[in-house]
Amino acid sequence: MATLVSSLLMLCLLSQSSCRGFRSPLSVFKRYNENSRYLSNECLDAPEQIISSDSPEFSLDIRMPGVTPLESDTYFCKSYRLPVDEEAYVVDFKPHANMNTAHHMLLFGCNMPSSSEDYWNCDLGTCTDKSNVLYAWAKNAPPTKLPEGVGFKVGGASGSKYFVLQVHYGDVSSFKDNHKDCTGVTIQLTMEKQPMVAGIYLMMSVNTVIPPGKKVTNSDIACAYKRHPMYPFAYRVHTHHLGKVVSGYRIRDGEWTLIGRQSPQLPQAFYPVAHHLDVSSGDTLAARCVFSGEGRTAETHIGDTSVDEMCNFYIMYYMEATHATSYMTCVQDGRAELFRNIPQEANVPIPVDSTMMMSHEHHHHEAMKDPVKNSFALQQPKREQEEVLDQDFHLEEVIDWPGVNLKLGQVSGLALDPKNNLVIFHRGDHVWNGNSFDRTFVYQMRGIGPIEQSTILVVDPSSSTVLHSTGKNMFYLPHGLTVDKDGNYWVTDVALHQVFKLGAQGGDSPLLVLGKAFQPGSDKSHFCQPTDVAVDPATGNFYVSDGYCNSRIMQFSPLGKFILQWGEESSSPAAKAGQFSIPHSLALLPDLRQLCVADRENGRIQCFRLETGDFVKEIKHKAFGSEVFAVSYVPGGLLYAVNGMHYMTDTAPVQGFLMNFSSGEIIDTFLPVRKSFDMPHDVVASEDGTVYVGDAHAKTVWKFAPTEKAEHRSVKKAGIEVQEITETEVFETGVRNQPKLTEVVAKAQKQQEKQKTAEQTESRVSFVLITTLLIIPVVVLIAIAIFIKWRKVKVYGGDSEHKHESSSGGLLGRLRGKGSGGLNLGNFFASHKGYSRKGFDRLSTEGSDQEKDEDDGTDSEEEYSAPPPPPLPPSAASSS
């Protein structure tokens, strides 16, 4: 009987659990009554994604699909496709997060998530292409709030097609019961154009070095702002463990105005700006990160692990929609004389409550118990606690830039003038081919005369409108171009074998000419197909790479007086430092007093000291292939290059490269979206991170802009328990080519109907499973009954069996029910106190369709009195 009761009790609990998705009623009750976990129950009935067909506004519910992180500091990512193809604007956010469950969450916009899985560990990244931070929520931090009339542009030709939600689960102790979490955010969108468009301005140091043991190290960043006015409304700071305080300012007419100041050890979030302000052309944006090297035994550099550091200051802003830019960067080191006037508050650390600190501090608090272990943890973090940095920005082609449609000849040189306008040097209707020169490098096409078109074009970097042009009837085969700090143009012509300096306003007469027209040579007064020029802004000295024939670098005074030269020809695979095989392009590093040379046919970059020509370093990567065509530098430590493809031997793809000059590492690669590079001949980069590539064969200029890619995250090799996802995810598969919002609604409804059908199928499967489990103990009961019957027949004979079974109060009588002897569990359970028959009367092993429900006729345990047992036969009485 004990076995019978236990079996029935188990069945009862299973039946009740089935109504709650196979969860223990006790755990459900407990979780509903614990405020720290109330959100996890929204997985049961989380609101569906909503689109209204009656208005241009709609909302999208973006949630984790019922996840259970198993280790602390787990980062999960989940992607959602924008349900419309047309341009839309994100105008509001409503978080669904609990500080006791999620440490922080970020919402990104991009076009290509890093995974197609339902959700994934963010070790894989968030997006493979550009990504912009649209929203941030963090424990104990205020949520991001967009001002009225401001929206993040998504969809359309250039906006993000996907949202990627990243949730950081810092402490997973609240998941001991293995419940599912649906942390996320509901975003409000509209199809109506917004007057203001939001964007992100990232200020980032790439060259900071923190000496070991030094109490205070400042990392300063500053850039002149040269665009249309922007209006900051939120900011965010970021460092790793050594950061104490990060501050950002606008400098106007010598006055420093605070944008935001915060401890980087507080949660990752955007905080409201300190003051309402604007940033206009002519202003300077400045930021300072304060670090302490105490506890370190070696220098700390900017890098991609937790033993390295970062210095980032993000500004969330809005601009007028007509000329809005969604992402800008500043990576230039701040000048010491500028930062002498920074407010003292920038170096005052902000006290942080240990309960509010970032999660990486949690591990170090644990290590603090043992000073020896703590020292080791700071120097060599465990692999599972190591932090990885996906590059904070990725270069993407600006596909709507009209400059690709300019009518150009072979583009040979690019530069930026002091106003940040793009300057293009091209060959008009002339081309360089196999008939252009003889074996002695003498130009053979003099008879066709100089190029009649303007060979130098100054264009607006946004609209590509030609602002100024010059260089008509002056050049035969243009090649290299640079613009000095005064706006003068320095160019080379490989047909003329000459170097020219032209005034900022152009004109018919050059200010300076070096070399003899059409006369190649190798002495101090001749060039042989010179390729490029670089001008030192500090001294006015200039450098010429000479070139296709001479393989040398020449230095001249501002007036053109020869100073020195270095270099010799070598195309050997083992070419030594200072040897060149076509020094094709120059990049001057004014802050480091170096000159870098694209050693084209040797597939490398060589750098030398400006004053002496002494070799400093070589940068060479397998990804370069056998050719490096051009190189460009942005003060602050970023080096850009483009390679080429050798017509016989190369297999490396033709692309652009972004490198950390200090380490020589490739940070990023970039290439056009619509078609491939043909012959990228020159590259130039601005302080805000915009990059231009001139393609000689394609006769065009490509424009690339930095867009935020990903946030750094902890790498925790956590085991992920795969959960069945039953929550509806509308538009997960993506809705393509939808001109009308009503079509989206229709498809969403179909998706919901499919989901309901799936849920019904799952429900039927669950019912069959429960029924099977019920049958097992019933079979056991029948076996017991048969055994009892057999015993009684053996002991009492057939008459006693008949009397006992016919009694309505007997056990088997209640089990078999009122009909034709069917086994009815409803009648059995109904005979026990407090039980309601609802839902069980028809759970019978046979004849259930013919059974009638007569609840008022059911006996209760209080009303029922079992008949006395039959008298013992004489033989039995005597034996006892």
**pLDDT digits over 567-604, tens only?**
999 888 889 999 999 999 999 998 889 999 999 999 99
Cα–Cα nearest to 638, from 126, 131, 202, 158: 202
pLDDT exceeds cutoff 60 at 830: no
Q: Judge whether 479 is annotated as a binding position.
A: yes
Cα–Cα nearest to 638, from 624, 658, 623, 621: 658
Q: Which pLDDT does position 736 carry in this prediction?
A: 33
Cα–Cα nearest to 406, from 420, 394, 424: 424
How does pLDDT run across 747-787, given as a tens digit for each residue?
444 444 444 444 444 445 455 566 666 677 777 778 777 77
Q: Which pLDDT does position 357 carry in this prediction?
A: 56
Which residues, in sequence order, are bridge partners of residue 466?
459
Q: Which pLDDT does position 50 carry in this prediction?
A: 52
How does pLDDT run across 300-347, given as a tens digit for each residue?
998 766 678 989 999 999 999 988 888 888 989 999 999 999 998 999
Tell me where in the chain the CATH 2.120.10.30 domain(s) lie. 397-708
Q: Which pLDDT does position 30 carry in this prediction?
A: 33
User: What residue ranges in 689-763 does DSSP mark as E strands?
Assistant: 691-695, 700-708, 713-714
Q: Judge whether 240 is annotated as a binding position.
A: yes
Contacts (Cβ under 8 Å, ≥6 apart) of 835: 829
Q: Which pLDDT does position 242 carry in this prediction?
A: 93
Residues 815, 801: Cα–Cα separation, whole Å:
16
pLDDT exceeds cutoff 50 at 103: yes
Q: Which pLDDT does position 790 carry in this prediction?
A: 65
Report whether 697 contacts 375 (CB < 8 A): no
Q: Judge whether 584 is annotated as a binding position.
A: yes
The residue assigned the tokens 């509209």 is 190
Question: Pairing relation of β-strands 243-252 and 284-291?
Answer: antiparallel
Confidence class for position 21, pLDDT limits 50, 70, 90: very low
Q: Which pLDDT does position 128 carry in this prediction?
A: 86
Contacts (Cβ under 8 Å, ≥6 apart) of 364: 241, 374, 377, 378
Please count the residues of the chain: 880
Report whether 103 contacts 169 (CB < 8 A): yes
Encoded tokens for 199: 């964007």
Packing angle of the helix pair 798-806, 741-795 (nearest 10 deg)? 140
Encoded tokens for 717: 């090799």
Q: Which helix (H) or strand (E) holds 204?
A: strand 196-204
Contacts (Cβ under 8 Å, ≥6 apart) of 163: 60, 62, 79, 80, 81, 82, 107, 108, 109, 134, 187
Model pTM score: 0.52
Can you tell me whether residue 684 is helix, strand or coil?
strand
Return the CATH architecture of domain 39-392+713-739. Answer: Sandwich (2.60)
Q: Judge whether 712 is annotated as a binding position.
A: no
Confidence class for position 16, pLDDT limits 50, 70, 90: very low
Mean pLDDT of the chain: 76
Q: Which pLDDT does position 506 carry in this prediction?
A: 75
Q: Which pLDDT does position 206 carry in this prediction?
A: 87
Which range, 461-465, 717-721, 807-811, 871-875, has the best average confidence (pLDDT)?
461-465
Contacts (Cβ under 8 Å, ≥6 apart) of 480: 412, 413, 425, 491, 492, 530, 531, 532, 533, 545, 585, 586, 682
Question: Pairing relation of β-strands 393-397 and 387-388?
Answer: unpaired
Tell me where in the chain the CATH 2.60.120.230 domain(s) lie. 39-392+713-739
Q: Which helix (H) or strand (E) holds 30?
A: helix 25-32
Residues 415, 204: Cα–Cα separation, whole Å:
24
**Arithmetic mean of pLDDT, 172-194:** 90
Exposure of 603 by Cβ count < 10 A (0-12 exposed, 13-18 middle, 19+ buried)? buried
Question: 397-708: what CATH class?
Answer: mainly beta
Q: Judge whether 238 is annotated as a binding position.
A: yes
The residue assigned the tokens 């930095």 is 706
Torsion of CA 673, 674, 676, 680, to 10 degrees: -80
Question: Pairing relation of β-strands 579-580 and 568-569?
Answer: parallel
Q: Which pLDDT does position 33 carry in this prediction?
A: 33
Q: Which pLDDT does position 793 carry in this prediction?
A: 53
Which residues, in sequence order, are bridge partners of residue 289?
219, 246
Q: Which helix (H) or strand (E) holds 87?
A: none
Report whether 284 contacts 259 (CB < 8 A): no
How does pLDDT run across 111-159, given as a tens digit for each residue?
899 999 999 999 888 898 877 788 888 766 666 788 999 999 998 876 7
Can you tell me whether residue 532 is helix, strand or coil?
strand
Q: Which pLDDT does position 54 carry in this prediction?
A: 62
Cα–Cα nearest to 272, from 109, 146, 131: 146
Residue 27 vs residue 179, higher pLDDT? 179
**Arithmetic mean of pLDDT, 820-835:** 38
Encoded tokens for 172: 């997973």
pLDDT exceeds cutoff 60 at 383: no
Contacts (Cβ under 8 Å, ≥6 apart) of 224: 282, 283, 284, 687
DSSP single-letter state for residue 173:
G
Start-end of H helices in 453-531: none
Confidence class for position 244, pLDDT limits 50, 70, 90: very high
pLDDT exceeds cutoff 70 at 652: yes
Q: Which pLDDT does position 104 carry in this prediction?
A: 81
Read out DSSP for 321-367? GGG--SEEEE-PBPPHHHHTTS-GGGGSPPP--GGGS-HHHHHHHHH
Question: Pairing relation of β-strands 530-535 and 512-514?
Answer: unpaired
| Sheet strands side by side (includes 74-81) | 120-121, 74-81, 162-169, 104-110, 131-138
Q: Degrees (nearest 5) of the Cα angle 277, 278, 281?
A: 150
Q: Judge whether 427 is annotated as a binding position.
A: yes
Torsion of CA 295, 296, 301, 302, to 10 degrees: -40
Encoded tokens for 800: 């006693």
Confidence class for position 849, pLDDT limits 50, 70, 90: very low
**Arithmetic mean of pLDDT, 862-880:** 38
DSSP single-letter state for residue 593:
T
Cα–Cα nearest to 729, from 15, 60, 16: 60
Cα–Cα nearest to 89, from 199, 14, 208: 199
**Arithmetic mean of pLDDT, 8-21:** 40
Contacts (Cβ under 8 Å, ≥6 apart) of 392: 202, 204, 312, 708, 709, 710, 711
Q: Judge whether 168 is annotated as a binding position.
A: yes
Q: Which pLDDT does position 187 carry in this prediction?
A: 92
- Provide the percentage of residues in the chain whose pLDDT is more than 90: 49
Question: Pairing relation of β-strands 422-426 and 411-416?
Answer: antiparallel
Cα–Cα nearest to 172, from 78, 101, 98: 101
Residues 748, 752: Cα–Cα separation, whole Å:
6
Confidence class for position 266, pLDDT limits 50, 70, 90: confident
Spell out a b/e string for 615-636, using b for 16 or more CB atoms within 10 Å of the CB, else e: eeebbebeebbbbbbbbbbbbb
Residue 392 vs residue 114, higher pLDDT? 114
Confidence class for position 446, pLDDT limits 50, 70, 90: very high
pLDDT exceeds cutoff 80 at 531: yes
Can you tell me whether residue 812 is helix, strand or coil?
helix
Radius of gyration of the chain (CA): 38
Report whether 435 contacts 448 (CB < 8 A): no
Catalytic residue annotation: 103-104, 166, 168, 238, 240, 310
Contacts (Cβ under 8 Å, ≥6 apart) of 385: 73, 306, 360, 363, 714, 715, 716
Q: Which pLDDT does position 674 carry in this prediction?
A: 79
Residues 385, 839: Cα–Cα separation, whole Å:
52
pLDDT exceeds cutoff 70 at 737: no
Q: Judge whether 414 is annotated as a binding position.
A: yes
Q: Judge whether 362 is annotated as a binding position.
A: no
Cα–Cα nearest to 195, from 87, 58, 327, 322: 322
**Arithmetic mean of pLDDT, 233-245:** 91
Cα–Cα nearest to 310, from 219, 376, 211, 382: 219
Packing angle of the helix pair 25-32, 2-18 (nearest 10 deg)? 50
Q: How many CB atoms lie within 10 A of CB 24?
A: 14
Report whether 411 contacts 699 (CB < 8 A): yes
Confidence class for position 351, pLDDT limits 50, 70, 90: confident
**Arithmetic mean of pLDDT, 190-207:** 92
Residues 145, 271: Cα–Cα separation, whole Å:
9
Ranking 147-156, 252-261, 826-835 by mean pLDDT, the lowest is 826-835
H helix and E strand count, the chain:
11, 48
**Arithmetic mean of pLDDT, 9-15:** 41
Contacts (Cβ under 8 Å, ≥6 apart) of 354: 361, 365
